[in-house]
Structure 1
């Protein structure tokens, strides 16, 4: 009988681990998922024929393994052009040698990346570009303040860089920090930047600086004169035709077809351990029945605080106290279907209904609570049931149980519509209908007891057959590709008989590239 690997969670990390085990063939993965569908926050939510991508997922990684893994599951559509990836100073072509006819449906599209910031009721390029629009929108006085404060930060940096505020002021200067980072970041996390660990900035926006923005502007100027027909994945990305959930549904199908098991609506009540090893999982089924499931290995993507609280015998009190107080940020997406948007000369719309070309727009304005606006039409036309409709996703960062979280759906939809009208983006009369999706523990946070997290990690790593992977599993703000890489390394460690987890924890630590830099990383 093959050894059993119990996998907690059917998101990107859990399903990647399951499929890698199926491909190897020496062990049997059994996946337990709390909800009734796969994908985690990378799932696709359907509402009356319209599909929502929760949080937005651009399929681009500098890892060849990840890129090839995705393309093996969903090949690039035959009607899409070849794309050139640029990273590590090298150019590599993602070709269509395994292209699939578009009508097949199980395909990746090549999409143009457009993200902008909405501030002062004007549009700014994202990443911030030193172009005429940016300079005009900011105005001479603000530009002078930005320049002088950046010079001051360069000459007299903050020495004790303990907080995210210290990190950002040192990197951009006080004025630029307050203009484009402070309000939005605090809207996302709900606490002052002075209370967030500098480690968050080092992980998420370590490659961004004013100097890099200038270099980017110069490079972009040169590339605009380049007549090459191929495009770069700095400006383009791959995307499943029916949203990210389409890929993970196909992965789940392959896991089940290969002999793995996926059980839905199953709550993990706790793990039983003895002599430094996990022996069994206590699983509550949808019917409320609890059973013990023995496993040779466990790969966990569940929230660390929930994992620790369910340990039997209990974890040491110091570990429990830290884990129980680990902070998270929760997330609401309001889907609004509208017939048209208001005209804005800066929106760059080329449509009669005034739909902007952006994948998402970062709402920097202080007088509204919405943090980001997705335009699902621009991710994939097939996310929208009708071509003459605009399908919008308004993203709110909140806390489970707060005023937004507990607002009834109809009032939340009305609240979101009011905010878009206040931003001069829509008229109420053009709103057709809407829906609300709430996602708890979307973002593991870097404040509170997070500073003591190494104590929790050390104890959990001491259970030699337990492997923590993914965003919530590691309480780390990983992207989809990083979560997949942690799962890959966990599977390799299990198959090779390794109990050291250091290589798993090293993912996204020394990586000097990030798919979405700066603010774009804040809410993904």
Structure 2
């Protein structure tokens, strides 16, 4: 049997292992090496005092049939959405304890997609719409200024040499300044003019004022939304107990098929010889050991992968060492209520605002985005009718002052920001807190990223090495894209091929529009 070493037990690593074992477990012996004590990577679900946290928010929506079938095999979809009085009453009954008797535990719920921008203490739809409420929120003068600015951007396109020009070309300078400039700098720690336009091309393909108008006209004419327009989707699937539920199920299946998942097992060295990876040295709780293999699938950060390899040319090593990342902190707060009134026509449990997440555009606070876990799934909350379980998302750099805060300092900081913004009225409304820190959550598109093609060309020389997943490719992929890289890598192994082009080309097509993270992680806009 061929020995397959998979680095990382996130969506890419688990999908690759499952695919190989389910299709050819007599051909491959599969071992997954996971640095942490958890599986699922950033797609895991964190449990805390009876409540569950989704790290970054994961909408299960994909145009990839192969991904949708794989999800459905693990967790069947709920079917048509139900938002009537009976459905709301069923969600309220959860406070009595125990699972919903009308549904299996392993199921994908159908949820509304509601994401809005909170700017100057007012809600704006995201993507920005042309509804009367938008113009009332902006005011007459700002609306006129934004309209003239957009028309000017249509008449005079800027060279898309950076992310700033990319946004201005699609929204005009005024809307860019309101809804993109400050938030992007908050997220990445860099001004948009210093970030490659490649990021915008990948994360917000096709999204613009003209796309919003086109979508609005389609809806007015009664036309159905096209399958590839994920920027504007109105509903999505979501595991009953959060995204980690899916990956925990996948891990069980992998082990039942004979796969081995080794946690707390960090890859430190990658040994190469004559165009092949021969083995890896790992650090475990009991010491170091060397593991040999025939194939290696890596979803570890490219920076760390190359740093651990022997005989790397200095030019390649410099590119890898300079690849930037943004780290991530989620603060969970269990609160009695939010000081946000539901002024939409969407009925919700306990009158809560309907948003899955809210983008915080206020540059006077550090908070980037706020998740409301009750709206993702009421099963994520121990008492969904009596309490609100929220996740506050912060972007930082490992080792900086925010990252190095104690748990208490960080949760107190988050609480005070919500008080200043008026989202909470009293600190006494906070019933419980928790903090999660995630290293290298977002591969960034500046510094040596411009030379990444040289790095990938070097790695492609190793015929039995396949780079998969978000960090494995240093690409801000969604979860379904990460899975597709794993599917294609498994296809190569099964067919005895070593051409990596198709794997690297996942999520590079220009027609796949996306808001951000319809099925993935993070806090970008």
In structure 2, how many angstroms separate the alpha carbons of the residues matched to 1:132 and 1:506? 41
Q: Larger relative CO (CA 8 A, sep 6+): 1 or 2?
A: 2
Matched with 1:158 is: 158
Is it true that 1:421 corresponds to 2:422 in the alignment?
Answer: no
Is it true that 1:292 corresponds to 2:290 in the alignment?
Answer: yes
SS in 2 for 1:472: helix
Superposition deviation, residue 223 in structure 1: 4.3
Give the conservation status (yes or no) of the 8 Å contact 2:341–2:353.
Answer: no
Distance 1:349 1:212, change over 3 A: closer
Superposition deviation, residue 350 in structure 1: 5.4
In structure 1, how many angstroms separate the alpha carbons of the residues matched to 2:103 and 2:148? 56
CA displacement 1:370-394 (0-9 Å, x = unmatched): 0000000000111001131100000
Distance 1:397 1:458, change over 3 A: same
SS in 1 for 2:471: coil
In structure 1, how many angstroms separate the alpha carbons of the residues matched to 2:521 and 2:156? 28
Q: 1:379 aligns with which of 373, 376, 381?
A: 376
Give the conservation status (yes or no) of the 8 Å contact 1:348–1:356.
Answer: no
Matched with 1:145 is: 145
Instruction: Note the 1:273-292 alignment, pairs <5 A.
Output: 273-287=272-286, 289-292=287-290
Distance 1:261 1:521, change over 3 A: closer
Structure 1 vs Structure 2 CA RMSD: 2.3
In structure 2, how many angstroms separate the alpha carbons of the residues matched to 1:220 and 1:495? 44
Is it true that 1:403 corresponds to 2:404 in the alignment?
Answer: no
SS in 2 for 1:473: helix
Superposition deviation, residue 343 in structure 1: 4.4
Deviates more, 1:19-28 or 1:262-271: 19-28
Q: 1:369 aligns with which of 345, 348, 366?
A: 366
In structure 2, how many angstroms separate the alpha carbons of the residues matched to 1:369 and 1:261? 41
Distance 1:137 1:80, change over 3 A: closer
Structure 2, unmatched stretches of 5+, are: 84-99, 226-230
Matched with 2:269 is: 270
Give the conservation status (yes or no) of the 8 Å contact 2:56–2:521.
Answer: no
Superposition deviation, residue 134 in structure 1: 0.4
Deviates more, 1:420-429 or 1:185-194: 420-429
CA displacement 1:257-312 (0-9 Å, x = unmatched): 0011110000101111100000011111122x11111100000000011001111x
Is it true that 1:356 corresponds to 2:357 in the alignment?
Answer: no
Matched with 1:449 is: 448
Distance 1:173 1:518, change over 3 A: farther
Matched with 1:113 is: 113
Structure 1, unmatched stretches of 5+, are: 83-99, 227-231
Is it true that 1:430 corresponds to 2:457 in the alignment?
Answer: no
Give the conservation status (yes or no) of the 8 Å contact 2:42–2:521.
Answer: no
Compute the TM-score of the two structures, normalised by the length of structure 1.
0.91
SS in 1 for 2:402: coil
Compute the TM-score of the two structures, normalised by the length of structure 2.
0.91
In structure 2, how many angstroms separate the alpha carbons of the residues matched to 1:32 and 1:250? 18
Deviates more, 1:215-224 or 1:112-121: 215-224
Instruction: Note the 1:111-260 alignment, pairs <5 A.
Output: 111-159=111-159, 161-223=160-222, 234-260=233-259
In structure 2, how many angstroms separate the alpha carbons of the residues matched to 1:101 and 1:32? 38
Distance 1:349 1:489, change over 3 A: closer
Distance 1:222 1:286, change over 3 A: farther
Residues matched between the structures, number? 498
Matched with 1:52 is: 53
